[in-house]
Structure 1
Amino acid sequence: MPDVLYETRDAVATITLNRPDARNAYSDEMVKELLAAIDEADADDSVHSVVITGAGPVFSAGGDLKAMRDREGMFAGDPAELRNQYRKGLQQLPRRFDQLEKPVVAAVHGAAIGAGLDLALMADLRIASDDAKFGSTFARVGLVPGDGGAYLLTRVIGFARALDLVLTARIVEAQEALDMGLVTSLAPSEQVVDVAHERAEQIASLPPKAVQAAKACLYRSVDNDLETALQLTAALQATVQHTDDHDEAVRSMIDRLQNR
């Protein structure tokens, strides 16, 4: 069985972590297959949004503790070798998600722990089950958030809250995660994937080039000054204003207003 499943339906691609017996912990093969799934979604023009979730009872437990203990796979080698493995392996995931223009919705059920939390943070929106748990628990196993978590967590919930979660390595329940902005909304456990799909379908129903450009505007404005952000927005606006999507959407809106 593959470590990652990929399917498409109604302009939405679904990527499912598929190591339920290992609580969807990362393997070297999972990382490769996950990167390949992102590439496939990116290259498919019929895909307008993406859902990522996990098979079985949890989203992802992050790093594989047995592999850590035995110093196997991504945990094998001396410090120089480990650095290169991280750069060429696991750290390709945040880079690749950052390059993906299409919006990503994470459906998080059960636990999203350590690198599993970081993976959820790579999505644009996070829909969590009401029994979900989150933790940046690297310090518990003597590690640091090495796959983009320090960068992503700070931007999602702010510096002070990110410090709290990373330095205490505490577990956050679903309601607290919602209150701090770590997740977008909550859903009953048995409905969380469906709710995430509904959100992804809502996104996919909008003009795709405009949605992708709007996503780029938001992300590229976070670390830029106002003038740089305005220049980027002007360039993207000028581009999308000359698309068929824009023309069709405007005509449709006028028709609806006239027929009220």
Structure 2
Amino acid sequence: MSSPSPRSFLPAALGAVAALGVAAVLSAAGPALAKDAPVAAAKPTIVLVHGAFADASSWNGVAGELRGKGYPVVAVANPLRSVSGDARYTASLLDKIAGPVVLVGHSYGGSVISNAATGNARVKALVYVSAFAPEQGESVVELAGKFPGSTLGDALAAPVPLPEGGVDLYIDQDKFRNQFAADVKPDAARLMAVGQRPVAEAALKEPSQGTAWKDHPVYFVYGAADKNIPPAAMAWMAERAHARRTVVIPNASHVPMVSHAHEVAALIETAAKSAE
């Protein structure tokens, strides 16, 4: 059976590209402890990985809530070049973080965390936010087309050729809000469209190799009105991954971490408490 074209249905939350480095490392200093008081267990660090057509700032609302509750937070600048390369980059960042980690991925970022967390015992939970949780050998394009409903292909702008070959994909700015962020305020969605980071088409077609969701506690949250990844596909992946909890937000778009930051942060905290 031939692979579906990424122009006909590309994955969800595939949020924007490049910029190596950590977009935001927000560390929380704990209160001073009395000399003889027992030392409280450190809270796990929450590591947030954005998807295609987005960037690390898409986590601002979620990061703010978690920071307010004392969690250290890192928002990764996902390169969006390849599943394997992006996973290696994320894994290298995890290696620099002491203590337990809760790893969170949005859209294409779900494929990244599924690979980056493989074999890492310090990752205590995985949270998929409108995200892909691929089996070995599955690609984002394949999973996005497994169920009907994605309209991403029709919303893409003309591909941008890359000097080394292949193309980058963007969402047409005029179609961005309706496709990607329909429940985000118009002015904010317009800025998201302008600042979107492109994803390499090859990354969406690359078969995943890691299945960390088989070995870690898993949590899912997604919007019932997602136009990038069909909600039926995410329900199927959540069930396949034996998610401990799945939250479906009525009328939410592909970016619930922007439009429903409180609900997303609450699920991440549930995952984090299980790791404390």
Interval of TM-score (by shorter of Structure 1 and Structure 2): 0.3 to 0.5
Q: TM-score, normalised by structure 2?
A: 0.31
- Does 1 or 2 have the higher relative contact order (CA < 8 Å, sep 6+)? 2
Give 1 or 2 for the bigger CA radius of gyration: 1
